[in-house]
Amino acid sequence: MFVTTSGLMSFAVLLSGVFALHAATKEGDFGKLPDGRAAHIYTLVNKGGVEARITDYGGIVVSLKTPDKRGAMADIVLGFDSLDGYLKNPGPYFGALIGRYANRIGQAKFVLDGKTYNVPKNDGANSLHGGTQGFDKRLWTAKMLPDGGLELTYVSKDGEEGYPGTLTAIVVYHLTDANELRIDYTATSDKDTVVNLTNHSYFNLKGAGSGDILGHIVTINADRYTPVDSGLIPTGELRSVTGTPFDFQKATAIGARIEQADEQLKLGKGYDHNWVLKRKGDGLEVAARVEEPSSGRVLEVLTMQPGLQFYTGNFLDGTIKGKGNLVYAHRTGFAMETQHYPDSPNKPAFPSVVLKPGQSYKTTTVYRFSVVK
Ligand code: GLA
């Protein structure tokens, strides 16, 4: 049969229309866990060809391809090509969903309703990112939604990693036609518990593995941050950023002040702190904007949460090889984790992280991508 070029093209248009309707286009294999269970990978694409690949292991965003100012696509998140990479290198939490309590809990314990709960010490004396087997290391139950979203469910048993109450966490990823990766989190519990969920993607808007992030220009909508002690636990003070290297109220390059002789920068080995977001209400508001001049890529972070952990990949040291065998050297990715302030279970003055039966924890984060010419 003879097919004209225009015939082929209209066939392609028809196909792309079909794919746009079913944005979560496909499910594939992503390897096997040590216990034999299979992990899967889901590919979400939008109208503009932006593509996110997400696995049900840890709900990890494995890759995220967005255009630069010339229209060239690059993968802008750090990660691994296969499940094996994530199993062998859990330390950086690349791209993962973090729970039950993202960030640190001081002395790995907290008191709730008069009872002391001990959680795993996996960061010196403290507990980090939900413990030894946090939500990032769990196989979630995935469901491809008719609207193209990907729904992931994880039921964390009463007592798991020391936390009280069976917690049902549902996280839905959408890749919208407005070039947004939208993450909707819901959680319910059958007993009083604490919850703080986030995503731990590391971005490099030049492309993962293309050098450091020091030239990225950052704005954070916050005039205070939570200074920390030597274990990166907040002291409880909400300190003004004015006159410090923590002032990102005006767009400033990450590298402009990161080596300054500042006590807090020394403690964090760079930026690894929580900013107290200026908020108008409880809705989705812009927390931060990041622009990378050479590619023109822009990332905006929107959240309903009170805090933003801005971490500049200070623990990356070049020992990890990621996707495409590229080396992830010091400060070659940054994370912007929308969340409650670290150690909130032990800080009554911080916004509460307590979730009670009958209540529903609901929060949305949007990573929005665009370009400036
Ligand atoms: C968070 C922490 C950092 C570090 C990374 C993972 O961002 O705040 O200190 O633990 O996770 O390496």
User: Which pLDDT tens digit goes with each residue over 100-141?
Assistant: 999 999 999 999 999 999 999 999 999 999 999 999 999 999
pLDDT mean over 87-103: 98
Side chain identity at residue 260, one-letter code: Q
Catalytic annotation present for 200:
yes
For residue 19, is pLDDT > 50? no
Which atom in ligand 1 lies closest to the alpha carbon of residue 268?
A: 9
Residue 367 CA to residue 181 CA, distance in Å, equals 5
95 lines ligand 1 (CB under 6 A): no
Looking at 174, 200, 216, 340, which residue is catalytic? 200
Place of tokens 């403290």: 126
For residue 221, is pLDDT > 70? yes
pLDDT at 26: 86
For residue 203, is pLDDT > 60? yes
pLDDT tens digits, residue range 312-324? 999 999 999 999 9
Separation of CA 2 and ligand 1 centre (Å): 59
For residue 1, is pLDDT > 80? no
For residue 233, is pLDDT > 80? yes
Separation of CA 272 and ligand 1 centre (Å): 7
- The band of 30, judged by pLDDT with boundaries at 50, 70 and 90, is very high
For residue 23, is pLDDT > 80? no
Separation of CA 92 and ligand 1 centre (Å): 7
For residue 62, is pLDDT > 70? yes
Pocket test for ligand 1, best of 129, 199, 341 (most atoms within 8 A of CB): 129
Comparing 54 with 21, the larger pLDDT belongs to: 54
What burial letters (b/e) apply to 94-117, b meaning 16+ CB within 10 Å?
A: bbbbbbbbbbbbbbbbbebeeeeb
pLDDT mean over 324-337: 98
Element (H, E) at 290: strand 285-291
pLDDT tens digits, residue range 138-164? 999 999 999 999 999 999 999 999 999
pLDDT at 11: 38
92 lines ligand 1 (CB under 6 A): yes
Catalytic annotation present for 273:
no
Q: With 0.75 as the threshold, say if the pTM is over it.
A: yes
- The band of 4, judged by pLDDT with boundaries at 50, 70 and 90, is very low
How confident is the prediction for the chain on average, in pLDDT? 94
311 lines ligand 1 (CB under 6 A): yes
pLDDT at 20: 42
- The band of 25, judged by pLDDT with boundaries at 50, 70 and 90, is low
For residue 227, is pLDDT > 80? yes
pLDDT at 10: 38
**What would the 3-class secondary structure string for 29-82 be?**
EEEECCCCCEEEEEEEECCCCCEEEEECECCCEEEEEEECCCCCEEECECCCCC
**289: nearest Cα among 164, 190, 297, 344:** 297
309 lines ligand 1 (CB under 6 A): yes
Residue 133 CA to residue 350 CA, distance in Å, equals 26
pLDDT at 22: 45
Looking at 151, 174, 337, 340, which residue is catalytic? 337
Which atom in ligand 1 lies closest to the alpha carbon of residue 128?
A: 10
pLDDT at 302: 98
Assign residue 159 a region (left: φ > 0; alpha: ψ between -120 and 50; beta: otherwise).
left
pLDDT mean over 209-216: 98
For residue 15, is pLDDT > 60? no
Please state, in angstroms and as integers, the Cα–Cα distance from residue 297 to each residue in 353, 369, 370, following that order: 34, 7, 6
pLDDT tens digits, residue range 267-313? 999 999 999 999 999 999 999 999 999 999 999 999 999 999 999 99
pLDDT at 2: 33
